[in-house]
Amino acid sequence: MPMPDKKLREILRRLLILDAPRVAWLEVLLLAIVLLVHTEGLEWAEAVVGVWGCRSGDVYDAVEVFCGVASLSRCLQLGGYDTASLDIGLWNPWMQKRLCSKKRLGKKCKRNPLNLLCPAGFGLLLSAILNSKDGVVVAFGLVCSTFITISRGSTFRHYFLPEGDPHSLSVSQSNLLAARTFLAMLVVMAKQGVWVLEQPSTSLAFRLRGFQKLLRTCTVFRQSFWMRGFGSKTPKRTTLWSNSSGVRFFCTSKKARKGRGGATPKLADTYRDALGRKRFKGNANLRKSQEYPVGFGVRFAESMKHLKKERSSLKQPKWAPRLTRPVQSGAPNTVSTKCLLTT
């Protein structure tokens, strides 16, 4: 069924309450709403890799963005939650299953439509959120390769310079990906939903202007834990950011860092450059460590009710202190929407 006009007005009203930026990205949101209203949803006949698909109506209980191998989505589906999964890597397997139409689709889709860097991917993400039930839980596993410590030497990111090197293509793409992720979080809150952002504890993504604006808009909770406590082969100190206090159920003890005494695989190899300086680079184990263990997915499915129940309000409480930024000479004390879209 098409989305009722009353519901559309309510979503837009909540976006205005959240003080969402109303330049450029709002056109994409309105386009997605028009598609949902006039085409009765974006319908896909078959699911991608058995876990991903779009159907019309309020059908999704959860959405996983940057899902990778979709281990979290599978656990949520086994728990009885209708889940949509989005990741750039899901497009190629979907194309390979349709060899007869591969050439025809290849001509129409020159880009990967699941890439959130392109308008089609971002519009598809907004459509998946708008096709979800009120109170949807959206998990964002934002790509962290340029935000962590191991890449600081090439990205030039710093606590006081989280945007990094603007002339680097990978850094600028990561900033754009993060900005669109933060904008999608506003849409999730407009749907009275819960967003959960997963990042390594050394990530500087929370220092970007888009996320800092979220901190000024609503109450955000943070929970750090050891991923080894859920069955990972590496300790991997991880942090969850959310607008729900239910993330506290992911807390692990200090003993989880050591695990059961198994050997910890090396995530990086060291070598000497031409000048004899010691350097290191990630190996195959580093990419494997990005996959969520099954225990994490099970805990996420068990915590769904708590995440929905303990969702924070759209605005900061009256007793919350107002955060102010230092005003430079001749510069207004506001956050530029243009900077938010590009960082």
- Asked if residue 330 is part of any domain, the answer here is no
- Asked if residue 54 is part of any domain, the answer here is yes
Which CATH number fits the domain that encloses residue 14?
Answer: 3.40.50
pLDDT digit string (tens) for 113-162? 788 888 888 888 988 898 899 899 999 999 988 998 888 888 999 999 99
pLDDT at 204: 95
- Asked if residue 56 is part of any domain, the answer here is yes
DSSP string covering 124-182, please?
Answer: HHHHHHHTEEEEEEEEE----TTTSGGGHHHH--BTTBTT--TT-HHHHHHHHHHHHHH
Please count the CA atoms within 13 angstroms of the CA of 33 that sit on its side-chain side: 16
304 compared with 216, residue with greater pLDDT: 304
Number of domains the chain is built from? 1
Question: For residue 96, what are the domain limits?
Answer: 5-259+284-313
- Asked if residue 198 is part of any domain, the answer here is yes
- Asked if residue 320 is part of any domain, the answer here is no
Distance CA 210, CA 330 (A): 23
pLDDT digit string (tens) for 255-310? 888 766 566 777 777 778 888 887 777 677 666 677 899 999 999 999 999 999 99
Residue 112 has pLDDT above 70, yes or no: yes
- Asked if residue 276 is part of any domain, the answer here is no
- Asked if residue 326 is part of any domain, the answer here is no
Question: In which element (H, E) is residue 240 found?
Answer: strand 237-242
In the DSSP assignment, the letter for residue 44 is -
